[in-house]
Amino acid sequence: MFEKLMNNPIIKRYSFSLFRRNSIIVASIIYISLIMLINTITFLYFVANMQSNTPIDVQKLAMTAYPWMLGLSVILLWGMASITPANIIFSQITKGSYDFFEILPLSGRTKATGLLIGTNLIYYPLAAISIILTIQYGMLGGVGPIQQLNILLLFLFGGLFCNTLSVLLCVSSTNLNKKQSKIGTNKNGSIVGIIILALVFGIPIIGALSDSKQGINELLELKWNFYSFKISAILFISLAALYFAGWNFTGAARKLQDKTLPMFTRGGAVKYLISLQFILFGFFFNYLFRDSIEMSRFAGAFAIVLFFIMLAIYLATRRNKKRIIQSIDRIAITEKKPMSVTILKIVNISNISEALILFTVWAIPALIFAITSGYSINSIIIHFCTFAIFTILAASCSEFYILFKDSKWKYHFLITLFFFVYQGGIFLGGILSRSGDLLIFSFPGYIILMFPGNLTEKISNIQRIQALIFNAFIAFALFGCVISFYTMLWQKIIADFKLKKVIDEEKSKKKEETQSE
């Protein structure tokens, strides 16, 4: 394993640049100074709060320093080790050396591993030293080995999650070859994202630990309901972080293998959504079958959040036009009757099929939630039909966007504009005029009207059905346009393919004739 890592050219390359005598000396001085500073401050703080003439309680002293040391380890592993690969990737892009990196004949996994470990050759050892010192302090302070192990797992897997997420966000940037990147996927976006994650996950834990030993015990004894089991919250977070770190890494490796590939494979997206739902569903399993209004509101909100996660996963799974054409090409070569185009074939070849599969995966637990939360059958049918129609609408618009992205920029622009005006415009109109009748026609408005409020009370199921029919009309019209466009594209590709075949055959015939002459 170690030998394999050392044979990774990217790790070797960073070992050259990072392990220079001066860099090591500077890093060591800064690190030792930090450790000394933490220890001095905690010692002085401890002594200042100590009653005079009492001997120093080593256990208490160690526990005063413990959260600080853990904080330093988190900053190094979760923060610095996440920011560094992002910084390096973006500096390569701005300096113009990313082209070299991109065409290296290395697999995506090798590149991802190289980036992750290679760029952190300084921070990983420092984080390791810090955590060893933290464990030492913990031992002196009387923290038990099981508790230490739990904290260690959380520290390692949480760090791995942040680090892999940082690499994934950077390599998924759509404008990697340009000097400027889009908001959310650029360097600052990644760094901000990582910092937010570190704050969200790190601070509460460190905060709990700062209450000394009691805090640690409380945190470690915290149990969550997961289906019918009770599991340690810390252990659960650690394992979930490891699981999602694995997905982050796989996504990054795919992007590094071929930047035009989507982040997920079709199967991968389904697995990801199922596993995510399985985990989240597990937490709320015990709250199901309780007929209360709060529960129905909560279930609705939970299902909506999952719906948007499902849409995000779909966006990360879409194949571009080139890949779709390749699939049609394959059909032209392998099928006996390639010209017979059916809607089913087109839906299968397009990204719409993926949207429908993901919708189904989302709908099953959402349906269980809705039934067990006391929603009426009529409401459930209307809600699910509305969500399904919006999925078809969004998938059709997205398909147009993909098909016209490279060639017909006007269409591509128009379809984006249409989507936002149609959904956003109606929504804004409804909000400004405080009209539920208008709001119900947009999907965001519909979601607002799912929850209790002044406007919701005025909306009847008949109005919801009217909006549903109107939206279904537009969604299916767009869907029909996508199908027609695909049919034309399909027939053109197959015709071109046949023509090429005839030309090639004629050419080879002529060649044979001239050779025989």
Q: Please report, as ranges, the residues that interact with another protein according to CB under 8 A.
A: 9, 12-13, 16-17, 95-97, 99-100, 102-107, 177, 258, 260, 322, 325, 406-407, 409
Looking at the Cβ atoms of 329 and 437, the one nearer to another protein is: 329
Least distance in Å: CB of 97 to another protein? 5
Cβ contacts of 464 within 8 Å, gap of 6 or more: 382, 386, 440, 446
Least distance in Å: CB of 415 to another protein? 15
Please report which helix (H) or strand (E) contains residue 226, including its range. Answer: strand 223-226
Angle, vertex CA 165, rays to CA 318 and CA 360, nearest 5: 40
Alpha carbon of 331 to those of 351, 464, 493: distances in Å?
16, 42, 10
Residue 389 sits at φ, ψ, to 5 deg, of -65, -40
Least distance in Å: CB of 330 to another protein? 11
Looking at the Cβ atoms of 104 and 192, the one nearer to another protein is: 104
Cα–Cα distance between 31 and 122 in angstroms, integer?
Answer: 11
Least distance in Å: CB of 409 to another protein? 4
Looking at the Cβ atoms of 140 and 325, the one nearer to another protein is: 325
Nearest residue to 435 (alpha-carbon basis) of 450, 455, 451, 452: 455
Looking at the Cβ atoms of 6 and 58, the one nearer to another protein is: 6
Alpha carbon of 38 to those of 124, 205, 489: distances in Å?
20, 19, 66
Q: Where are the alpha helices (DSSP H) in 80-122?
A: 81-95, 98-102, 108-113
Least distance in Å: CB of 219 to another protein? 41
Least distance in Å: CB of 91 to another protein? 10
Compute CA 374 distance to the chain's CA centroid, rounded to the nearest angstrom. 32
Least distance in Å: CB of 491 to another protein? 16
- The answer for 289, left when phi > 0, alpha when psi is -120 to 50, beta otherwise, is left
**Radius of gyration for the alpha carbons in the chain, expressed in angstroms and rounded:** 29
Please report which helix (H) or strand (E) contains residue 96, including its range. Answer: none
Least distance in Å: CB of 496 to another protein? 10
SS3 232: strand
Neighbours of 330 (CB within 10 A): 12
Looking at the Cβ atoms of 262 and 365, the one nearer to another protein is: 262
Least distance in Å: CB of 104 to another protein? 5
Residue 457: Cβ-neighbour burial (10 angstroms; 0-12, 13-18, 19+):
exposed
Joined tokens for residue 412: 């591509």
Looking at the Cβ atoms of 119 and 147, the one nearer to another protein is: 119
For helices 266-284 and 233-257, give the axis angle rounded to 10 degrees: 170
β strands within 337-489, DSSP E: none
Looking at the Cβ atoms of 80 and 135, the one nearer to another protein is: 80
Cα–Cα distance between 498 and 336 in angstroms, integer?
Answer: 12
Least distance in Å: CB of 171 to another protein? 15
Looking at the Cβ atoms of 2 and 100, the one nearer to another protein is: 100
Cβ–Cβ < 8 Å for 288, 366: no
Cα–Cα distance between 377 and 355 in angstroms, integer?
Answer: 25
Looking at the Cβ atoms of 210 and 320, the one nearer to another protein is: 320
Least distance in Å: CB of 319 to another protein? 12
Residues paired with 232 in a beta bridge: 223
Looking at the Cβ atoms of 72 and 116, the one nearer to another protein is: 116
Looking at the Cβ atoms of 11 and 310, the one nearer to another protein is: 11
